[in-house]
A and B are shown apart, each in its own frame.
Chain A
Amino acid sequence: MQVLLKIKPKTYAMGDVVTVDLIAMHPMETGLRKDKDQKLIPTHYINDIKLYFDNELITTIIGWETISANPYYSVKFKASKEGELKAIIKDNKGESVETKSTIKPRG
């Protein structure tokens, strides 16, 4: 699973509310699709995303297989000081990926 963490816009002032975008490469199988041999493909989806700022939990996203393949999630965050933004993404098969980005307001 590859994950991209993006902060928009690129430059922002202290106290601005920025958009935090998360894009993951994931099949998000519903458990209803069949493979070539007519066997059902088991469910495989991202079910837990946690967003931390300096090790303080900001947002939790609990998701199900009803989210589209290669999912995109977006939330807001108030950039009140410099720090490290970290996202931990887990799927229902136990795979876990961690990605980081820095919050650096100008001025």
Chain B
Amino acid sequence: MERRNFIKGIGVTALSASVLPSILQAEEIKAPTSPNALSYKDALKAITGGKTPAESPDIELIAPEIAENGAVVPIKVSVKSPMTDKEYVKTIHLISTENGNSRCADVLLTPMNGEAYFSTRIKLGKSQDVVAIAQMSDGRFLSAKKSVKVTIGGCG
């Protein structure tokens, strides 16, 4: 074999080796998708209609820093608001950044609630951020974010 051809050959094998694994990975990722799959970006768009919610200290999100079991992660959200007919929290949205379906819950409140508060337990597939978005009666969107480390994933 001539030297020139030999070097060409090395180049081709190196190229194919680098391309192949990425093709295989793409096929592997495709297989399991949630039936209600919705990415974090799309969920955010559906909630705020394109607006970017402002991070605010008025909204408090309590979540564990490390969740040993991703199938049960307790979450508490409370928003500072007088909850009168003129000024109240309309909705509290709970979403996660990496779950197949990033939506968790939408809570529609009324002034009769007295306090803007919602608590539940959610599933997290892996370590990610949990985001709470509150829509106020004047149309503003407030948000709070907290990252949760998950030891064992809880989505199937």
Digit string of B86-117 for contact with A (CB within 8 Å is 1, else 0)?
A: 00000000001001111111111110111111
Of the candidates B112, B113, B121, B156, the one whose C-beta lies within 8 Å of that of A67 is: B121
Give every chain A residue within 8 A of B32 (Cβ-Cβ): 32
Give every chain B residue within 8 A of A72 (Cβ-Cβ): 119-121
Question: How close is B100's CB to chain A, nearest CB, in angstroms?
Answer: 7
Alpha-carbon gap, A46 to B106, bound state (A)? 12
Digit string of B113-139 for contact with A (CB within 8 Å is 1, else 0)?
A: 111111111110000000000000000
* A64/B117 in contact, CB under 8 A: no
Alpha-carbon gap, A73 to B94, bound state (A)? 13
* A56/B112 in contact, CB under 8 A: yes
Given contacts A17-B114, A57-B110, is CB(A73)–CB(B119) below 8 Å? yes
* A32/B120 in contact, CB under 8 A: no
Residue from the set A60, A73, A76 with the largest chain B CB neighbour count within 10 Å: A76
Alpha-carbon gap, A75 to B109, bound state (A)? 9
Alpha-carbon gap, A93 to B32, bound state (A)? 22
Of the candidates B103, B110, B118, the one whose C-beta lies within 8 Å of that of A66 is: B103
* B34/A31 in contact, CB under 8 A: yes
The number of chain B residues with a CB under 8 A from chain A is 36
* A66/B117 in contact, CB under 8 A: no
Of the candidates A30, A57, A74, the one whose C-beta lies within 8 Å of that of B120 is: A74
Of the candidates A31, A62, A74, the one whose C-beta lies within 8 Å of that of B106 is: A62
* B112/A66 in contact, CB under 8 A: no
Give every chain A residue within 8 A of B103 (Cβ-Cβ): 64, 66
* A68/B123 in contact, CB under 8 A: yes
Given contacts A17-B115, A76-B113, A77-B114, is CB(A64)–CB(B36) below 8 Å? yes
Of the candidates B34, B83, B96, B119, the one whose C-beta lies within 8 Å of that of A65 is: B34
Is B155's CB within 8 Å of the partner chain A? yes
Give every chain B residue within 8 A of A78 (Cβ-Cβ): 83, 112-115
Alpha-carbon gap, A78 to B112, bound state (A)? 6
Alpha-carbon gap, A62 to B120, bound state (A)? 12
Is B62's CB within 8 Å of the partner chain A? no
* A58/B121 in contact, CB under 8 A: no
* A32/B71 in contact, CB under 8 A: no
